[in-house]
Amino acid sequence: MPLDWKAPLRAVRRALAAAVLVACAGAAQAETTAAAQAEPPVPLLWKVSDADNSLYLLGSFHLLKPGDYPLSRDIDDALADAEQVVFEIAPEELGSPALGRQMGQAALRTDGTTLDSELPAATREALAGWLQANAGQMQGMQLAPQMLQLFEPWFVALMVTVAEMQKAGLDPALGLDVRLAQRATQAGKSTGGLETVAEQVAFLDGMDRGEQLQFLEQALAGAADGRAEIERLHAAWRSGDAEALWTGMAAEMRREFPGLYQRINVARNAAWVPKLEARLAAPGTDDVLVVVGALHLLGEDGVVEQLRAKGYEVERICSACAGR
C-alpha cells in the first residue's frame, strides 16, 4: 500500500506558524516555576495609535499548556475593545484541510530522489539519531521514518519542531491564536489574516536549498538541546520577557543564519507593516487586535519598532509590569 503522506499533515495543520517560530529559537534565559504557572502569562502586548484608532499587537506562542489559561486581563480588555482580530493566517484558512493538502503538494519530492541524498553526512546522521530516539512520537503522528524521505528539508524541519514541542507538553489546540480566534467568533467579531495559506506555504517552499538545510539543522540542534530549551522559551514568553526572547530567538539566528533570518522574519515583517498602516489609516474609529508570533514584534527588525520609527504613538500594555 502506498505511503499516506496526508496523515502527518493533519498533525501540523494548526502548528504551521508555531513550527516556524520555535525552529528559529535558541535558549531563552528564564526558568519555569510552579509559582509562575499559577499566574496568568504576562502579555507581550503593545498599542499603536494614530489620531482616530489603534492597533493592539500581541505576541503569540502558537502551542500552549492548560496552565497558560486564563489569560491576562490586559488581553481580555484589548479583545473587548477591538472590532476586528487579525492573525498571521485567517482562522478559517488555518483550520481548513486545504492547508494540509497544499503543504503536502509543495513539500513532496518530485524528482525521484530521497531526502538523505541531499543532506550533508552530519545532518543525515543527526536526523537518523532523532528518528531512532523518537520512534514512538512519530508513530503517534502517523509518520513512519521512511516517509520523511519523500519530503523536502523544510517540511521535515517542521515535523521535528512540532514533535519536540508536543513532547514538552505543548498543544496546538491550546495555542493563543486558536483560543483568541474562538473567542472572537463567539463575540461576533470579524477576523482576518496578514497572509494566506498559499503565501505561507510558498514562503516555506521558496527557500533555496541552503536555507532549507539551515532550517532543518536548526530544528535538529534545538531537539538535541532537549526539552529544557523549549521550557525556557515558554517561560520567557509567560513572563513577558521581550529581551530574553529576542536574545534567545532572534539575535543568535541573525548572527549565525542571516539569510534564513531575513526570509523568516525581516521580509515578512516588511510585508505586514503597510497592511497594518492601512488599517490605522482607514476611516472610522474601529480598533484591531493583531495576533502574530512573538518573534515578529521584537527587536529593531520587529513590527513594533518599525511602526514607532514611522511616527506612530506606541506603548507597551502590561499592568503586571508596573514597578518592575
Residue-wise pLDDT tens digits, 196-245: 888 888 888 888 898 899 889 988 988 877 677 788 889 999 999 999 98
pLDDT tens digits, 253-295: 788 778 878 888 899 999 999 999 999 999 888 999 999 999 8
The string of DSSP codes covering 58-71 is: EEE-SSB-GGG-SP
- Please give the average pLDDT of every successive group of 10 residues along the chain, which has 324 residues: 41 40 34 53 96 94 93 97 95 79 87 95 96 81 81 92 86 91 96 90 86 90 79 91 86 80 89 96 93 93 95 93 61
Q: How many CA atoms lie within 13 A of 93 on its CB side?
A: 20
Rounded Cα distance between 271 and 131, Å, is 36
44 closest CA partner among 316, 324, 263, 308: 316
- The pLDDT score that the predictor gives to residue 165 is 86
Residue 94 near residue 13, CB atoms below 8 Å:
yes
| pLDDT of 113 | 95
What is the pLDDT, as a whole number, of residue 38?
64
Kindly state the cell numbers that stand for 5.
Answer: 503522506
